[in-house]
Amino acid sequence: MVRGGVHKSTPLNAPGKQTASSSLELSAHARSILEQCGLSVMAAASVAVQRALGKRIVPPLVVILGATGTGKSKLAIELGRRLQGEIISADSMQVYKGLDIITNKVTPEEQAQCPHHMISFVDPLVSSYTVVDFRNRVLSLIEDLHHQEKLPVIVGGTNYYIESILWKVLLDTKQKSGTDIKRKLEIMGGPELHKRLKEVDPDMAAMLHPNDTRKIARSLQVYQETGIQHSRLLEEQQKQEGGDGLGGPLRFTDPCIFWLHSNMDALDKRLDERVDEMLSSGLIEELKDFHQRFNEKKIQENSQDYQHGIFQSIGFKEFHEYLTAGADVSQEEREELKMKSVEALKQATRRYARKQNKWVRNRFLKKYKRTEPVQTERTKPVFDSEN
């Protein structure tokens, strides 16, 4: 399998340190691009893919993953333009209509540069859209793109969405009512659900913490819909050729995968600045409008939670106190709530970036026995960027 080699580097042009530009043998034009921080990853990654194509190693798809704020969307657009590709967003919040700023969707101008899919097509009041729905639609889309001789470029930060495409890891019970069953179970709370799971599937219960309500509910849902223990189904999946303790085998042969990684101090600074840019772009107005149209009534009816659908977006729940402040709240207090919300958003975004990187390390860099991405052609490290 061919993928972009990953190495950790310091910010571009740091004194005495190797930069992304020094890790590639590039044309003069590409080298000049590398000098521009905003385009450094794009040039390197495109060269890597073109090398693979030049040796007739045609990847069935390109996957760009990494922490939020590392420039995945920009790289995807550049690759799509250069390699006759189309972009498939793998972001669980960007599938919903609305909240374009807080979910950091690509702009209409960026979408015009290269065809994009899986963005803004689910009604924001729908809370039953699942990773299985995503996987089924994307696999069909990939097949269509292959028939058109187009290169699918999957990009996003929702790791389990990407995982569902790369590996055969999901159990699809084919039950349309599955989401409703799971939601009803979740209401009961983790400890009670854990007791029930112990009775029907002790092996699975031993693997899950009593407070992990969503995963416990999922295991009980699988058992209710199939009559088979979740642990047994997973064991059968892992025994497939190419599978292991993490799940089933790879779905596609030789995908090309890029991990965009950044120095965390530099990324933290960039993420904070991005939140400030969101505020300047109208974030508060977007949140107020969305709250009034979709969230206010749910709160009044005491039917709102921030665990499902678009309402779990990082940034929306952090502004709950500010958005729900009553008329009796003074302007000074309101401003304090706003600043508190902004800081909470920055902290949540930084935590999420670390969570994304942890997943990449667990799935790709640890020495598991699964069939995982490796470099069949030894090349110099391709990239690492502050973008």
Neighbours of 86 (CB within 10 A): 19
Residuewise pLDDT in 10s, the chain (387 residues): 333 333 332 222 222 332 332 222 333 433 333 333 333 444 445 555 555 555 555 689 999 999 999 999 999 999 999 999 999 999 999 999 999 999 999 999 999 999 999 999 999 988 888 898 999 999 999 999 999 999 999 998 899 899 999 988 877 666 655 567 777 888 888 889 999 999 999 999 999 999 998 889 989 988 988 899 998 888 888 777 777 766 778 899 889 999 998 899 999 999 999 999 999 999 999 999 999 988 887 777 776 677 788 888 998 899 999 999 988 999 999 999 999 999 999 999 999 999 999 988 887 776 444 444 443 333 333 333 333
CA atoms within 13 A on the CB side of 84: 9
Beta pairing class for 151-155 and 85-89: parallel
Burial 361-376 (b: 16+ CB within 10 A, else e): eebbeeeeebbbbeee
The answer to whether the pTM exceeds 0.85 is no
Q: Which domains does the chain have, with CATH numbers?
A: 20-169+254-263+358-365 (3.40.50.300), 178-237 (1.10.20.140), 267-348 (no CATH)
Residue identified by tokens 């309101």 is 334
- Strands (DSSP E) contained in the chain are 62-66, 85-89, 116-117, 151-155, 256-260
Beta bridge partners of 116: 87
